[in-house]
């Protein structure tokens, strides 16, 4: 996987495994605060970079109009208009709602090189971005349902 984004900017190396302790994120909470806010699956995915099983998350086959927000801080991350069926079992988008809402980090776990995506506001792990998506970006943000909440269009 190419660790550079479409603008030629290299993804940052992943910091320590507990991003909620990272002072670069505007929203920071203690582990106890995160555990109180998130259910066990949300905590493992968003705060410990776990991955839910394919075709099991609540949003992989969800097509209502609205906005998908970070489960940790409610930052708007993706719109339903850019969501597509990638056939992978996880909700997928071809672009984020606005540049800079999603942070890219090089992930070398599991014997491969991928680009991890996190909420740029609180550091919650969202999933990964791949270069096999549709036009116009050619990207596929493969996101765990446990990392996001949905707000229907008004």
CB distance 39 to 71 below 8 Å: no
Would the annotation count 88 as a binding residue? no
Q: Which long-range contacts (CB under 8 A, 24 or more apart) does 86-89 make?
A: 86/133, 86/140, 86/142, 88/54, 88/140, 88/142, 89/53, 89/54, 89/55, 89/56, 89/60
Would the annotation count 122 as a binding residue? yes
Q: Which of 46, 71, 86, 142 is catalytic?
A: 142
Active-site residue, 142 included:
yes
Would the annotation count 70 as a binding residue? yes
Active site residues: 142
Residues making up the binding site: 70, 73, 119, 122
Residues making up the annotated binding site for Zn(2+) are: 70, 73, 119, 122
């Amino acid at each position: 996987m190419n660790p550079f984004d479409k603008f030629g900017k290299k993804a940052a190396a992943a910091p320590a495994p507990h991003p909620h302790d990272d002072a670069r994120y505007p929203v920071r909470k203690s582990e106890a605060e995160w555990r109180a806010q998130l259910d066990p699956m949300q905590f493992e995915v968003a705060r410990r970079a776990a991955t839910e099983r394919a075709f099991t998350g609540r949003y992989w086959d969800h097509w209502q109009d609205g906005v998908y927000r970070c489960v940790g801080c409610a930052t708007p991350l993706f719109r339903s208009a850019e969501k597509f069926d990638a056939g992978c079992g996880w909700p997928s988008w071809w672009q984020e709602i606005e540049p800079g809402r999603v942070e890219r980090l090089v992930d070398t776990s599991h014997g491969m090189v991928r680009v991890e995506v996190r909420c740029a506001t609180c550091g919650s792990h969202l999933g990964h971005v791949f270069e096999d998506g549709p036009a116009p970006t050619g990207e596929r943000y493969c996101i765990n349902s446990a990392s996001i909440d949905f707000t229907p269009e008004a």
